[in-house]
Chains A and B, each alone.
Chain A
């Protein structure tokens, strides 16, 4: 039942309206001025007895209908209102309209007129409320959806972060206590990379692996996890390069969904016999920088790539090593690093020859600065615009 408040200072009029409205089923409260009306509205706000509709006179003692209307706007109380105007109050109507009240009745009017208007306004008000609540529903739904997207994107980000941390851990190497000196740089193109580098002490020296999985996304970075575990197993089992790569190839094919090409180079440094065995699986040639030789030597070993072919074989080359000799390893991201020639629009790549040249220029430097400076020159050569994961590492015999 709608609750209607009548504010009217004339007792007779108040009585007639109350009677008529009650007769058609409204609940009616009547007061004699604006101040009491405001009090009634405020007191019953948000209660079962809430005022749903206001019918107010203009000229009243204490607080006029106009002041009441203004007050309600100030208080942000929205109540559908009909203002009863009389001769001499036309100027007030203009002001009311300005404030947004468009419903008024000119006195005198028959009571049915008031009832009709109230019914109309109530119906319209219901419609508006429904519309508003639908809008609010839509907005809520939209917000819910947005939040759920936000949550899943945060979740995704978390997953990427955890994958990224995992990848960072995978490529982290404790350089202390190694049987050889090591300095290296590994720079994934994005958060996750497909380059994997590891070195482990063995009883006679150390085993070194550099692998490059095609792509640089989560898929490739998860391949690196598999590579890491097979490598670490191999260090314990001390299988040779050919057997290690054959095993790794098998597991890459069996345990990954998609055929991703992996190239890798495996080096076993034997400090008792002062030799290094280098086995390659389609990987760019390793560079040997002998302490006494004037020029670097590319160790040209060939082998099948990993991860796709069922039958594979790998060459191994054995070289003699002595103290202060260096072995340089890198991924093809280094060879392909380059810039676009602004004259021709063609890409100028560093290539293995460029890397060897830089290494020669810096060869007199101690290991750390040698790697730092060479690395910076590599980056500079390609104007810092890497298009692939890049790894550059140098091992120095103690």
Chain B
């Protein structure tokens, strides 16, 4: 049995407990994502696959007469809710171990930790036979460099974390080559800076000051968390934070 229902905001499936349906569900949901302009799906595929395998193997104990329901719905433009329900007895999810098994060869029990790593949030219903997962697609942060009134302005399109650190490093070095002593970071779209990107900012400031002693780099539109971080780590010695 394989039933599918779809409209603009969601796609839902109901199917008997058979692993053979997985690829079909993945394909159909990817089509749904594409209709919502979502590009790359590898992590999403992993999450959906693990969820369905869990519900078939552990939830329904591979009992073919039992069905699994899966619904993928749009929360907002880059976020989706994935709901998977089986007909099993549920389980005590409070005892779940979200930590990845240490043995890389171990394939069992990777499911939930893997989902937890890739998704934003996992919730269960009280019985434990229905799981709700929020999954976000992330646009990789781009760095826009422009010249505004003679100031070289660097505007990241989102958070600066280790995953974009290499790009960030390149942008910083290129900016230094411009020989412009008027540099501004516009952090209006940055909510988070991790310590790797903070390392880069300090190293950059150090190199910048060698070139332009006593010149301060400007940071505009930073949120309070970032302001506090700059204060705590004393990076505000090199960066003048204004609104």
Give the segment of A30-38, A48-56, A110-118, A299-307 that binds chain B.
A299-307
- Do B195 and A309 have beta carbons less than 8 Å apart? no
- Do A383 and B122 have beta carbons less than 8 Å apart? yes
Q: What's the least CB distance linking A299 to chain B, in Å? A: 13
CA distance A305 to B201 in the complex (A): 12
Q: Which applies to chain A's interface (DSSP): helix, strand, loop or mixed?
A: loop
Q: Is B179 an interface residue (CB 8 A)?
A: no
Q: What's the least CB distance linking A39 to chain B, in Å? A: 51
- Do A261 and B202 have beta carbons less than 8 Å apart? yes
CA distance A308 to B192 in the complex (A): 21
- Do B121 and A339 have beta carbons less than 8 Å apart? yes
- Do B198 and A214 have beta carbons less than 8 Å apart? yes
Q: Is B35 an interface residue (CB 8 A)?
A: no
- Do A347 and B192 have beta carbons less than 8 Å apart? yes
- Do A260 and B121 have beta carbons less than 8 Å apart? no
CA distance A31 to B203 in the complex (A): 90
Please list the residues of chain A having a beta carbon within 8 angstroms of any beta carbon in chain B: 157, 191, 212, 214-215, 259-261, 263, 282-285, 302-305, 307-310, 332, 336, 339-340, 342, 345-347, 349, 383-385, 388
CA distance A129 to B81 in the complex (A): 59
The 6 closest A-B pairs by CB, nearest first: A214-B195, A340-B120, A282-B233, A261-B199, A384-B98, A308-B202
**Residues of the B chain whose Cβ atoms lie less than 8 Å from the Cβ of A261:** 195-196, 198-199, 202, 233
- Do B199 and A308 have beta carbons less than 8 Å apart? yes
* Max count, chain B CB within 10 A of own CB: residue among A212, A303, A346, A384: A384
Q: Is B41 an interface residue (CB 8 A)?
A: no
Query: A332-B195, A340-B134, A384-B116 provided; 9 other pairs, C-beta below 8 A?
Result: A215-B195, A259-B199, A261-B195, A261-B196, A304-B233, A308-B203, A340-B121, A342-B75, A385-B98
- Do A302 and B202 have beta carbons less than 8 Å apart? no
**Residues of the A chain whose Cβ atoms lie less than 8 Å from the Cβ of B122:** 383, 385
- Do B234 and A282 have beta carbons less than 8 Å apart? yes
Q: Is B104 an interface residue (CB 8 A)?
A: yes
Q: What's the least CB distance linking A262 to chain B, in Å? A: 9
CA distance A310 to B225 in the complex (A): 26
With contacts A214-B198, A261-B195, A332-B195 known, is A305 near B234, CB below 8 A?
yes
CA distance A191 to B99 in the complex (A): 11
Mark B97-117 against chain A: 1 for CB-CB distance below 8 A, else 0: 010001010000000000011
**Residues of the B chain whose Cβ atoms lie less than 8 Å from the Cβ of A282:** 232-234
* Max count, chain B CB within 10 A of own CB: residue among A263, A308, A336, A347: A308
**Residues of the B chain whose Cβ atoms lie less than 8 Å from the Cβ of A309:** 202, 206
CA distance A339 to B203 in the complex (A): 31
CA distance A259 to B204 in the complex (A): 11
- Do A305 and B233 have beta carbons less than 8 Å apart? yes
CA distance A144 to B215 in the complex (A): 60
Q: Is B79 an interface residue (CB 8 A)?
A: yes
CA distance A385 to B114 in the complex (A): 10
Residue of A nearest to B79 (CB): A345
Q: What's the least CB distance linking A158 to chain B, in Å? A: 12
**Residues of the A chain whose Cβ atoms lie less than 8 Å from the Cβ of B198:** 214, 261, 305
Residue of B nearest to A349 (CB): B225
Q: Is B5 an interface residue (CB 8 A)?
A: no
**Residues of the A chain whose Cβ atoms lie less than 8 Å from the Cβ of B34:** none
**Residues of the A chain whose Cβ atoms lie less than 8 Å from the Cβ of B162:** 215
Chain B 191-212 interface residues, beta-carbon cutoff 8 Å to A: 191-192, 194-196, 198-199, 202-203, 206
**Residues of the A chain whose Cβ atoms lie less than 8 Å from the Cβ of B104:** 157
Residue of A nearest to B97 (CB): A384
With contacts A157-B104, A340-B120, A342-B134 known, is A302 near B232, CB below 8 A?
yes
Can you list 7 A-B pairs, Cβ within 8 angstroms, ordered by A?
A215-B162, A259-B199, A259-B203, A309-B202, A310-B206, A340-B136, A345-B75
Q: What's the least CB distance linking A286 to chain B, in Å? A: 12
